Amino acid sequence: MAEQSMISIQHLEKSFGETKVLMDVNIEIQKGEVVVVLGPSGSGKSTMLRCINLLETPTGGHIFIEGQEITDPKVNVNKLREHVGMVFQQFNLFPHLSAKKNVMLAQMKVLKRPKEEAEKIAMERLAEVGLADRADFLPAQLSGGQQQRVAIARALAMDPHVMLFDEATSALDPELVRGVLDVMRELAEEGMTMVVVTHEMGFAREVADRVIFMEGGVVVEEGTPEEVFDHPKSERTKDFLGHIK
């Protein structure tokens, strides 16, 4: 089963000391699928996302990416991680580097691309997110939404096979959210495999192939957006959706 899924999460557990954050999470994500993960704060959504590229080390269980077990102690984590792009709530840009240089840096350091190639790809990716004309601006000269789009361009420049978005719009002013969601929408249309933790219900309904609702460290319900939003089976899902509509 693991080899045909882009991401296979099997019996994932994560504890911080005595606190269990994830309990027996099992999820299969196929190539080109957009999976949106919903749930209240503290439900384990972001922790699960961080386990997928080992920013958090699982306490138990297994995670496979393209058939390779990332949780195997013998695996070259950095090599596997090259194929997994991640965009965080905070933009994590280097304040002293221009947008273009922020997008070039990891390409040169991690992928060992020559400077000219890294610069060419940086400009292509910035154009993709609508920021070619801001390439030489420092982060402080950009709006929050523009900074987040630079962060997406930086992740895309690494040629990821999977993109993880951890509440990528929640730190933004409402009027800046649309530009970031539009970029994510385009990525989905191009067939990028995406796992998105978000509170943007419109985006989830419109773009997701599948919606997963988590609470208390477990997957409570999953299905198509229509199934989860319009015909939720679990009382917990109904209650959650009732509060945010």
Model confidence pLDDT, tens digit, residues 178-222:
899 999 999 999 999 999 999 999 999 999 999 999 999 999 999
Whole-number average pLDDT of the chain? 93
**pTM for the whole structure:** 0.92
Q: What's at 200, amino acid-wise? A: E
Task: Check if the beta carbon of residue 11 is closer than 8 Å to that of residue 71.
Answer: no
For residue 233, the one-letter residue type is K
Give the other-Cβ count within 10 Å of 111's Cβ.
Answer: 14
Q: What is the pLDDT of residue 135?
A: 97
Burial class (CB within 10 angstroms; exposed 0-12, middle 13-18, buried 19+) of 64: buried
- At 60, list the tokens: 């138990």
Q: Give the confidence band of 11 by pLDDT, cuts at 50, 70, 90.
A: very high
